[in-house]
Amino acid sequence: MSATYWFQRAHLFRADEYICSACHAVSRKPYKQCPNCGETMKKGQYDPSWVGEVEGLSAVLDDDW
């Protein structure tokens, strides 16, 4: 049996999201149990999505003329 965990997806301009590894439900908080499937969370993973958001914003705001 594999461990169920929250996959934390961080964002630059909005709140972080927590995604259940078992049912892929999205939550605003890392609960001890998934409110959708009831699985107990054992560990977590982090996805720094905000890095890509910063790179996109930097490309839009870059003034190299």
| pLDDT tens-digit map of 24-44 | 999 999 999 999 999 999 877
- In total, how many domains does the chain have? 1
pLDDT exceeds cutoff 50 at 65: no
User: What pLDDT does 9 receive?
Assistant: 83
10 Å CB burial of residue 52 (0-12, 13-18, 19+) is exposed
Other beta carbons within 10 Å of 20: 22
User: At 53, which helix (H) or strand (E)?
Assistant: helix 50-61
| Domain boundaries, position 12 | 4-61
Task: Tell me the Cα Rg of the chain.
Answer: 16
Task: Output 25 or 8, whichever has higher pLDDT.
Answer: 25
Other beta carbons within 10 Å of 6: 22
Q: What is the band of 23 on the pLDDT scale with cuts at 50, 70, 90?
A: very high
Residues 40-65, mean pLDDT to the nearest whole number: 65
